[in-house]
Structure 1
């Protein structure tokens, strides 16, 4: 039942309708519905009084029951026969009123949800704007001719900004537009030439007039052009080159923020891709962009000042907890992360919320809360504007509109509505402060004590006093020269005003955390940290990342303390700083069986045609995953064998994806080789050494051998055909190119192909028959030793089966054990003489007697000597499992097997940690001498060395 105030309004409008349309007796049939809607909206009531056909179409023809309408087709039909601009203006206004009444009717009676409503308003706006543009473009080209360019007729692209761009336009909104066209030039129609710029300015002026001009029929939209380059002083329409120059040289942060919502309303054109290539790099940075937060905070501050200055109490858009704060939360996260996560490059706030949830950037509870609050506030806004088709976000002070609002929002009275609204806006404010809130003053005071150390030029005694509560006198003497050098270096670097401000904010915080850290050596820790800061000093976004995220800074200091290698990796590849934002995932490496799928997901974000970016993404994936493995290693989450497993499985996933990319590129260029298909490549990659033995370390290269099984040498079936076997040679070259090319993130892996048949003198890729013949007839004993630690990384099942058969066949050949032992010892001696870096005081864990290589050679000798009788030894390529099998088969006593296994794992674990400290694989502690002597004794027993 309607409130008395609403009932009075309903009666008034019903009486006016009856008086005006007394001959339309059918109105009485819809009396209750008409009275209810008219009670809720002066705009609807006035529209019905203007035109009985609107009422008839809605109720008699059933338009009100339709949730979606093809506005474009309906408008095109409406504009058929329109000959003049005055007729165009009238038709647009009639169409807009007709269908806005339809949307308002369904909204006010709660026949549709608000997300559908704002989408329909946006689709209607698109149809009106583009429909008017198409009509005017046709008329103007009939007079002046068509502006031509590289791809034919040039359009004037219309970019909708704000909620129009987001497809979430409110009911009575102005529209922010930017106009642009592809190329400068002239139209020569044989009578009088006109420049493209002049042509499009005239077109833009006519379009603005068609939409913006107030006539007796009202307005279509208020048009705001102030977001264009240079604002009101800029050209009304810009060509692409001018647009690119502006956004590259002068585009400001608030324009990036606005352009997140930018959407071209008429993109169906050959020139559109070029426009995207201009705008996308301006809006979205490839790195995580924490500089956006400070800019957004300043923008929000200006808006807050305006709210206070104008006394905007009760403003559901600009007020505290209003729509604008939700937009700030979402758009700031888009600016910060959108360059790395393409799915965030959305104009719609609601769709972006879904992506923030999917990407786990915001918790599900926060996303649900923001969505609920946003839709509630948008419903309130829609109601306020539908009362009288007025652009307002101000809560009403008249009793009539208060009762209208309470009724539509389903509240018993206005006070109950205010209570719900206040709760929603408080929830928004809490989330807003968490993301873009003011700086924590208490926290700032913690760093204040070290400000003087960084910002002032202190004498050594003054610095000693400042640091006295942090470091001992001896540590100060060691630390101070390095700090002074670093500070002097940073003062002379041209890092710009913004970079300088960020560095000055960061350093006291960083020093405070580092000097309180329980580190073996604060000097060593700070030297590593300084190296990282030097490497990012000209990349302000990363300085801002650390300022905005003390948690990330803490993780950086933790990792710098734990590992010089990690610190060096971060210094070389600052993009790794992004991984510090989520400590939970940082110390939880990808599951062993998850690297393939994770890498595929990484590459899905990249266009298949962008080879350069594909190579960069492969490298970024490797770096970020290696960092996670190392972080888990130094914190004890992963034992040594699991570290190697993860590093190996990571490399395998990258190898497989690299082969796939190379194959696709080769087939695209040359077609398929004889006997192959996209699924059946007849190509294999064998892994040797640490890769084959599932024992990769942090800096390991990849020992690879390429094999093909091409049945003939007919030409490939592409336009640029080549001989089929030549195809496989070029495929191998392409794979090597993908691995070796240095991008911003370095090379992918160093690849060693010297273990292929005939070594460096052999073919880059060999036929399986040649591989078999070489291994059986020509290979040296050391090559068969290498074959022990080989396995198939990439191959189709049938080819893999053949290669595995060759491996087992070759390794299980009967051998003269005495001759074999001598050959193995000779090779071991040769390696030790050439490669050992140890001396009387330092033990080379790998190459010295009693080290890793001795254990590996013992294992390889045993396999070659006994696999003819014990084929089970060929089941595994890694030393630990082979040692276990030697014990199982009775070829080695249990104690010997345990000694060698424990020694091998101990050496490898120490080797990993030395690598993480950027130290050579040498030990001078003497701690491992007992283990070493045990291995030497086993070596002597195995090879009968006295």
Structure 2
């Protein structure tokens, strides 16, 4: 008793003093603090007074041993009950635990979470015991086909899912329990209907056992109406039928309900498997801002249906559904979880307070708002408990009389005036914190439009993204902000045309318009993109989901690098079981990071060289993470790689680790069969076709057009013998070819070769061979002449297209890169990057001024090329770029005008051309 009394921190005031005094005298032996607590409880709650009288002996013992030990002992008692004593035994447990939790709650011995956990713990055990005992009886009677006595412990494949507050472990004092009863039909092939009939019977008997009011009371009122299509479906249905329903017609409120869903009785493992199949339904892969409007509409319907839209008064206020009530906080939390929980599993907390905490930790809710809402939630829930404790009624309404309110104030240990003021303040505060999130303001009036602009804007209503009334309603609020931002653009008409192209390309609008509506800063970003990079805007219209990344994580933080990217993608792919879905997941992941690099470059957070490295890091991560996925899938069908395995090698810009927004990947595959002739899988293959098909599988994984698009274009023409050679080359063949048959251009290509993935020992040998070969082959007499001839052919095939051409033509990017590879080969240098390869020219007698001329040209041309590829997929036509695009390129190249940039390009390319020509002549 000392332990319990020492933990008391508060006590109600007895509203009915005579009832309170009666109990105080009866339990005086427990000491003044505990007797005072019980007097206050009895003086406010006739129900609690009746329980104290009925369970007096047990209560004395329970408080003496401590509330936690008493709770555990009561749980242990009911676990041993047989079916014929289960109903009475559970009702006795309900009385005792209701009394114990009430006293612990009222005295502040337990926090809210411990109170609701105790109530939920009883509900879990009651449901599970009722199910397994009733199923055991049906098995004994031979009513479940093929089931044995051992199957009773898992209810023969039947499971109850706890929904709502029970699922979250948050049952209130007089809660109904919301259950969905299912059975695993896969256990009953051919006899599913017979099994279903039995499980329906078990469900009805379980509901009666728990809900029926007898002389012993009741256990829990049980509600089965959250099941799929409850008006027409049986009380227990197969998991397959439930899954089919949610996939086809499941609604947002059902998604929200499943945030809290938890198996609580019967076959818990089967229940977990079922919930896992519903993950794509509950947790959408893209940020789901449309859920906000759904939740807002649901709130309004509930208020309207229950007549809760009037002025807030204490008398009669509904603490659950009314303005500023418990449901507002729950909706606020669940809706934000739905928005981003598909991308971040950490957000899938079943509890309201826990959900708020993780939302704050992840940046979705300001920490002070989350903390205040958690405090308000606890206060509301404790008041809800006292409303229910008065008469064990499932009510959420404040009393409608002043006397009734005074009783509740006393139950809370407060005087009437302070209680009223505090309650109204809390209700108003909840309303303030949550209402703006659900109910955005009316649309502003946008700026006036010119006739041409007005014609464009008036045509938006005909676009696919605006075909639904819901999309139109959201867009009406959004449009003035879009037009206001357009008005501030460097060239509003130009930005409007680009935005028009973006909107025209959207296949649907509700999601992205909701996203913009809830995140106004994105409007500024989209206008910036539309006004600068039509190419990026078109990409966005086809892949609007990439905007999730802007608000769904650390979009503006420092670049993580290859290792972190690869680990992250490997983790993401590891969470997906199906091979095709892994490939689609990789595409979605890559597009988000690719978009991030582009936006950072566009906004000046990265320059062209940092962007080039980031694009290469991203490609490295994709190739590195997909390699084990592809090889494992191939091995599943055809066995492990025969011999020593294979390596995938990046060539060209991929090998040099500098890509742009539109780069493809130059790859070759090398394998070492080590004398092994065949694989050993279910469908074995000879070694050569094995590696050829594995190579094709890897290329397909990278290039296939899937629902999320494609990853990269892949070019394998740099393999030995080019298009004529096998797609995968044996190690011995590769070394022999490079030693005896390869052309000088193939040795040039090898200067930038880099192993991306594969067997480590073979990778080390490839690199060692590359270094040795380059040191020897650069000493040949014909290297310069061969490269000069190659240069002449390239310039004839790909001349420069205009003065702003960065890639092709004399003294331009490909020309400088070709020269750099030649210098690396002549100098026997293993360097892959252009700058280091030019620096290696010193060993071949290249003067410092010539090196500087090449580097100046390369650096300017790379900035221009990398910027160009971000703005357009085609040739650079300065007049077509618009003000935004031109400003971006001028900023990137450090020039003040197009004329100045043109003059500088002519100067540096002409000088580079002269240097390259001289170097190739020797």
- 2:449 corresponding residue in structure 1: 467
Matched, 1:892 2:846: yes
CA distance in 2, matches of 1:281, 1:362: 24
Q: Any idea what SS the aligned residue of 2:346 has?
A: helix
Q: Does the aligned pair in 2 maintain the 1:673–1:714 contact within 8 Å?
A: no
Quote how far apart the aligned CAs of 1:212 are.
1.8
Structure number with higher relative contact order (C-alpha < 8 Å, ≥ 6 residues apart): 2
- 1:176 corresponding residue in structure 2: 178
Matched, 1:865 2:842: no
Deviations 1:345-365 (A, max 9, x none): 443223333432443322333
CA distance in 1, matches of 2:374, 2:461: 50
Change (3 A) 1:326 1:483: closer
Matched, 1:932 2:909: yes
- 1:775 corresponding residue in structure 2: 738
- 2:812 corresponding residue in structure 1: 851
Quote how far apart the aligned CAs of 1:169 are.
0.9
Instruction: Say which of 690, 698, 701 aligns to 1:738.
Output: 701
Comparing 652-661 and 427-436, the one that deviates more: 427-436
Aligned ranges for residues 709-788 of structure 1 at < 5 Å? 709=672, 711-713=674-676, 728-788=691-751
Quote how far apart the aligned CAs of 1:559 are.
1.0
Deviations 1:103-155 (A, max 9, x none): 33333333322212212211211111222222233334544611579x99864
Aligned ranges for residues 663-742 of structure 1 at < 5 Å? 663-669=631-637, 672-673=640-641, 682-709=645-672, 711-713=674-676, 728-742=691-705
Quote how far apart the aligned CAs of 1:93 are.
0.8
TM-score, normalised by the number of residues in structure 1: 0.83
Quote how far apart the aligned CAs of 1:748 are.
1.4
CA distance in 2, matches of 1:176, 1:4: 34
Comparing 177-186 and 164-173, the one that deviates more: 177-186
Deviations 1:805-851 (A, max 9, x none): 2111111115566521111011111122223363xx55642221121
- 2:330 corresponding residue in structure 1: 327
Instruction: Say which of 56, 69, 87 aligns to 2:72.
Output: 69
- 1:511 corresponding residue in structure 2: 483
Q: Does the aligned pair in 2 maintain the 1:184–1:195 contact within 8 Å?
A: no
Change (3 A) 1:209 1:837: same
TM-score, normalised by the number of residues in structure 2: 0.85
Change (3 A) 1:603 1:369: farther
Quote how far apart the aligned CAs of 1:917 are.
2.0
Comparing 577-586 and 735-744, the one that deviates more: 577-586
Quote how far apart the aligned CAs of 1:421 are.
5.3
Deviations 1:466-492 (A, max 9, x none): 524xxxxxxx55x567556x447428x
Change (3 A) 1:250 1:773: closer
Quote how far apart the aligned CAs of 1:529 are.
2.1
CA distance in 2, matches of 1:821, 1:581: 53
Instruction: Say which of 481, 484, 495 aligns to 1:525.
Output: 495
Change (3 A) 1:37 1:601: farther
- 1:631 corresponding residue in structure 2: 599
Q: Any idea what SS the aligned residue of 2:161 has?
A: strand
Q: Does the aligned pair in 1 maintain the 2:132–2:155 contact within 8 Å?
A: no
Quote how far apart the aligned CAs of 1:327 are.
0.3
Change (3 A) 1:405 1:288: same
CA distance in 2, matches of 1:39, 1:66: 24
CA distance in 2, matches of 1:931, 1:743: 43
Matched, 1:40 2:41: yes
- 2:533 corresponding residue in structure 1: 563
- 1:490 corresponding residue in structure 2: 463
CA distance in 2, matches of 1:117, 1:2: 16
Q: Does the aligned pair in 2 maintain the 1:565–1:917 contact within 8 Å?
A: yes
Quote how far apart the aligned CAs of 1:312 are.
6.1
Change (3 A) 1:878 1:311: closer
- 1:344 corresponding residue in structure 2: 347
Change (3 A) 1:203 1:65: closer
- 1:462 corresponding residue in structure 2: none
Aligned ranges for residues 918-929 of structure 1 at < 5 Å? 918=872, 920-922=874-876, 926-927=902-903, 928-929=905-906
Gaps of 5+ in 2: 1-9, 879-898
- 1:907 corresponding residue in structure 2: 861
Gaps of 5+ in 1: 18-26, 450-465, 469-475, 677-681, 868-872
CA distance in 1, matches of 2:687, 2:93: 65
Matched, 1:403 2:410: yes
Q: Any idea what SS the aligned residue of 1:732 has?
A: helix
- 1:163 corresponding residue in structure 2: 165
Change (3 A) 1:857 1:393: same
Deviations 1:139-183 (A, max 9, x none): 34544611579x998644323322112221112112223334455
Quote how far apart the aligned CAs of 1:787 are.
0.9
Change (3 A) 1:53 1:720: farther
Q: Does the aligned pair in 1 maintain the 2:162–2:264 contact within 8 Å?
A: yes
Quote how far apart the aligned CAs of 1:659 are.
1.1
CA distance in 2, matches of 1:686, 1:855: 23
Q: Does the aligned pair in 2 maintain the 1:353–1:367 contact within 8 Å?
A: yes
Change (3 A) 1:166 1:805: same
Instruction: Say which of 42, 56, 59 aligns to 1:55.
Output: 59
Q: Does the aligned pair in 1 maintain the 2:143–2:198 contact within 8 Å?
A: no
- 2:101 corresponding residue in structure 1: 103
CA distance in 2, matches of 1:791, 1:663: 20
Quote how far apart the aligned CAs of 1:599 are.
2.5
Change (3 A) 1:916 1:29: closer
Quote how far apart the aligned CAs of 1:566 are.
1.1
Quote how far apart the aligned CAs of 1:783 are.
0.5
CA distance in 2, matches of 1:366, 1:328: 15
CA distance in 1, matches of 2:877, 2:656: 24
The number of residues matched between the two structures is 873
Comparing 627-636 and 63-72, the one that deviates more: 63-72
- 1:378 corresponding residue in structure 2: 381
Q: Does the aligned pair in 2 maintain the 1:184–1:196 contact within 8 Å?
A: no
Q: Does the aligned pair in 1 maintain the 2:203–2:235 contact within 8 Å?
A: yes
- 2:889 corresponding residue in structure 1: none
CA distance in 1, matches of 2:813, 2:252: 56
Quote how far apart the aligned CAs of 1:860 are.
1.8
Q: Any idea what SS the aligned residue of 1:794 has?
A: strand
CA distance in 2, matches of 1:204, 1:646: 58
Quote how far apart the aligned CAs of 1:310 are.
9.6
Aligned ranges for residues 517-556 of structure 1 at < 5 Å? 517-520=488-491, 522-556=492-526
Change (3 A) 1:768 1:385: same
CA distance in 1, matches of 2:678, 2:812: 51
CA distance in 2, matches of 1:355, 1:237: 34
Deviations 1:725-766 (A, max 9, x none): 765545433322321222212111112222222333334333
Deviations 1:559-615 (A, max 9, x none): 1112122112112212123234369725865456642343344335x23x2222221
CA distance in 2, matches of 1:307, 1:283: 29
Q: Any idea what SS the aligned residue of 1:684 has?
A: strand
Q: Does the aligned pair in 2 maintain the 1:71–1:127 contact within 8 Å?
A: no
Q: Any idea what SS the aligned residue of 1:445 has?
A: coil
- 1:134 corresponding residue in structure 2: 132
- 1:679 corresponding residue in structure 2: none
- 2:555 corresponding residue in structure 1: 585
Change (3 A) 1:890 1:788: closer
